């Protein structure tokens, strides 16, 4: 009799546990947890684009949503760098989109300008007249598409200079290139060439070259180039003469 009572109790416990598990499973899979709201956190102008990519998720149970599928859909957009997802129960999905930002512009053969992020991924193609970014020349052989990545070999040294520049310095320098002999070269908006060389002592080179450019410009001097690529006094070549003079 005792054994029968124990068996009945055990079966009762198992039944209760099974009932609770089944009820819990059915509750979690019920329409109570169906997705009703998608909250996308990103730049305001891009929300609509990303919302369209995931709109089909509405009505799907939050526990059935595959995060990897969402990430893959959004990472297909060149501007999207990373995606993270958070669930707010019972019916909301929060998607954090970390976007690449425009960093430099690269003229192309097809009359378009490729906009690159700081990891050198092409995020857009624009018309030349709408450029409001530092322009990198000397790489015009490219015909790029959004999503493609440009080799960092010649762009990385230029990137280091751009990252070291303050807002006032960026107003003076509009164009850059990387030359195999001269290294990093910048051009002011009125066409004066500033030769920086390698990426050592970047801050010092920027201060000297741009300071000298402004000082001589205020004196009415017409400059062809300023070379600060080596230690010692910078070399300045003036347009009106062929001689190279040392400025201290």
- Per-domain boundaries in the chain: 2-99, 102-145, 152-248
In the predicted model, what is the mean pLDDT of the chain?
87
- Write the pLDDT tens digit of every residue in 229-245: 998 899 999 986 544 44
Would you tell me how many other CB atoms lie within 10 Å of the CB of residue 42?
Answer: 19
Domain over 2-99 is classified CATH 3.10.20.310: yes
- Could you list the beta-strand ranges (E) of 91-247: 92-99, 104-107, 113-116, 122-126, 135-136, 173-179, 183-188, 193-197, 223-227, 235-238, 244-246
pLDDT at residue 27, as a whole number:
44
The residue written with tokens 């079966």 in the block is: 11
Give the separation between CA 209 and CA 100, rounded to whole angstroms. Answer: 31
pLDDT at position 201 over 70: yes
pLDDT band at 187 (very low <50, low <70, confident <90, very high): very high
Domain over 152-248 is classified CATH 3.40.50.11690: yes
- Write the pLDDT tens digit of every residue in 11-52: 666 656 665 666 555 445 657 788 999 999 998 888 999 999
Q: Taking residues 61-65, what's their average pLDDT? A: 90
């Amino acid at each position: 009799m005792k054994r029968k009572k124990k068996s009945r109790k055990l079966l009762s416990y198992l039944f209760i546990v099974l009932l609770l598990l089944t009820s819990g499973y059915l509750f979690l899979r019920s329409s109570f947890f169906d997705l009703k709201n998608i909250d996308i956190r990103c730049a305001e102008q891009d929300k609509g684009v990303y919302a369209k990519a995931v709109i089909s998720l509405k009505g799907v149970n939050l526990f059935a949503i595959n995060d990897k599928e969402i990430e893959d859909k959004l990472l297909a957009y060149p501007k999207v760098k990373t995606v993270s997802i958070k669930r707010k129960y019972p019916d909301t999905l929060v998607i954090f989109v970390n976007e690449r930002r425009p960093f430099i512009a690269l003229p192309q053969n097809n009359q378009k300008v490729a906009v690159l992020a700081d990891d050198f991924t092409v995020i857009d193609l624009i018309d030349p007249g709408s450029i409001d970014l530092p322009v990198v020349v000397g790489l015009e052989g490219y015909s790029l598409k959004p999503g493609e990545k440009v080799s960092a070999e010649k762009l990385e040294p230029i990137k280091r200079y751009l990252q070291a520049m303050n807002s006032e310095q960026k107003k003076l320098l509009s164009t850059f290139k990387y030359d195999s002999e001269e290294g990093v070269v910048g051009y002011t908006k009125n066409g004066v060439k500033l030769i920086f060389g390698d990426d050592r002592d970047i801050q010092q080179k920027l201060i000297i070259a741009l300071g000298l450019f402004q000082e001589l410009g205020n004196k009415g001097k017409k400059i062809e180039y300023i070379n600060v690529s080596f230690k010692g006094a910078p070399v300045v070549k003036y347009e009106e003469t062929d001689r190279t003079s040392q400025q201290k």
